Amino acid sequence: MRPMNRSKSLRLPGLVFIGAVICGGWLLQSDVGSTSSIYLHARIFDEVMRHIENDFVEEVDVGGLYEAAFNGLVDQLDDPNSRFLTARDWEEERIRTQGDYRGVGIEVINLDGFITVSAPIPGTPAARAGMRPGDRIVEVDDQSVEGWVSDQAVGLLRGEPGTSVRIGVRRPGVDRVITFEVTRAAIQVPSVPFAAMLEGGIGYVPLLTFNRTTTREVRAAIDSLSAEGMTSLVLDLRANRGGLLTEGVALTDLFLDRGKPIVEIRTRSADPEAFVAMGDQAYSDLPVVVLVGRTSASASEIVAGALQDHDRALLIGTTTYGKGSVQSLFPLAGGNVLGLTTARWYTPVGRSIERNRSARTSRLGDGPITVTGNPAERPDLGDKPRFTSSGGRLLHGGGGIVPDLWVLQDTLTTVERTALDEILASGIGLFAARHSWAVDFLGRHPDLEPGFVLADADLESFHAALLERGFEVPLETFMQARRALEFSLGSDIASLAWDDLGRFRRARETDAQLARAVELLLAAKSRSDLFALAGSPLAVTAPADGGPAPGGDLR
């Protein structure tokens, strides 16, 4: 690894985002270099648009043309992480990365022509008022919103804390419109939806995103579990697409000694910027397993990569997404924002984990998939650059972070995959149908227990509901995808009935990756024992300065 030129504390100016696919920003900038040729091109572009607006034979949506032109320009970079964000898109991205907004606290989706409550956020005004998943919003402040899409209603539901809004909903099984008087508040979207104590003193903390409160939430969850007797930890990053870079660095800081490198940012022209641990390790004696998968991206890969490089945590799962780039935010007129890839980041031993993909070829492909619907990609380590961890273990660079122990969830057979593909290709709005059927199922089973089992009659009922929507896949083919359908429907029902914790408890029965983590943590007597049991033993003692061992390959 080449020397790090500068140390960087956590007190950084501006916002730092590195979310996957939906871009974020690194150093908030507004100055863009220009040349006379750029001005000439801009003038020509303006002239072309003016002629189209004034002289084209038919009236055109000029705003839509400009947006399409901006998107087309960025698309020519062939970079899936660079994007033109409209003011509305940027507001949604800001909420995702900062984790707060002002409103009533509900997640809504467009479902069968209605704005439908997907889930009230626990502890928010909407949840306290009694709004439920499946409620169809038909009125806001006595104004009908039937036929609207969710984006149109968001502006009415959000507002200053302390102001009130009347929300009228139609609820399955209730003939009249139910009206809720809800007082808006500052809503904090949690990055840690829950924490759970498993057997043998093993704590489980799922982390969904990196927003401004992530490190504080994770620390609170760990401290709470420690008070209950936790002796080891599973940190689940499998559904984490990234977010704020500063929070990824701060979270990693909790598990590393002062001065240990976390990540290095390299731009095209500026000197590298190194981020190092700024405080003493908060949980030095806590064995940690980190679960990773194909949807672990960006900031979650920074955390996983640094902990793996320093042998601080054992990584279990499948190869991560492979987003080793950083995006800068350039504010534009009208509240629009340009998110542009401006840097690459590297792990402490010098690994780049950027996957070779373009905006046009970023789909996951047609390979095997698991029962949970995730790609079952097997790692090809033949051409991956080789590195050495601080404890002498073999690591790999290249596309994504390869876990220390590769564990795959149960995969679909060829017959099951073919049947599922046919169902997904039917074009009947499967998600909407699933959600509606799950709401109806809960209405018919008010005393449902978390261990419920879906019978053949239940799947046949769902198939009948699909037929009413124009579904043409025969029942025999439909039932060939039973395992995948049971998982998705069961998860939908559990989420509606018991929120994220209920969904986790149900899914845990078939979670091979978590099961392997628990098995190893129960058997291990120490951190070195944990790595040895996983087949990735520590080969040497870490260097006295806490840095990585020599041997990093910067190919």
Active site residues: 298, 309, 323
Q: Are 184 and 103 in contact (CB under 8 A)?
A: yes
Distances (CA, A) of 261 to 203, 318, 351, 523: 26, 25, 13, 30
Strand ranges in 283-430 using DSSP code E only, listed in sequence order: 288-292, 314-317, 325-331, 337-346, 386-388, 394-396, 405-406
Q: Are 343 and 269 in contact (CB under 8 A)?
A: no
Residues 6 or more apart whose CB falls under 8 angstroms from that of 151 comprise 88
Q: Read off φ and ψ for residue 373, nearest 5 degrees.
A: 95, 5
| Structural tokens at position 345 | 């980041």
Distances (CA, A) of 402 to 123, 382, 550: 38, 12, 20
CA–CA distance, 84 with 307 (Å, rounded to integer)? 33
| Structural tokens at position 50 | 């003016």
Q: Are 24 and 98 in contact (CB under 8 A)?
A: no
Q: Are 9 and 262 in contact (CB under 8 A)?
A: no
Strand ranges in 335-402 using DSSP code E only, listed in sequence order: 337-346, 386-388, 394-396
Q: Are 438 and 492 in contact (CB under 8 A)?
A: yes
| Helix residue spans in 267-358 (DSSP H) | 299-309
Q: Are 211 and 159 in contact (CB under 8 A)?
A: no
Q: Read off φ and ψ for residue 374, nearest 5 degrees.
A: -95, 150
- Structural element, H or E, at residue 496: helix 482-507
CA–CA distance, 167 with 388 (Å, rounded to integer)? 58
CA–CA distance, 527 with 407 (Å, rounded to integer)? 20
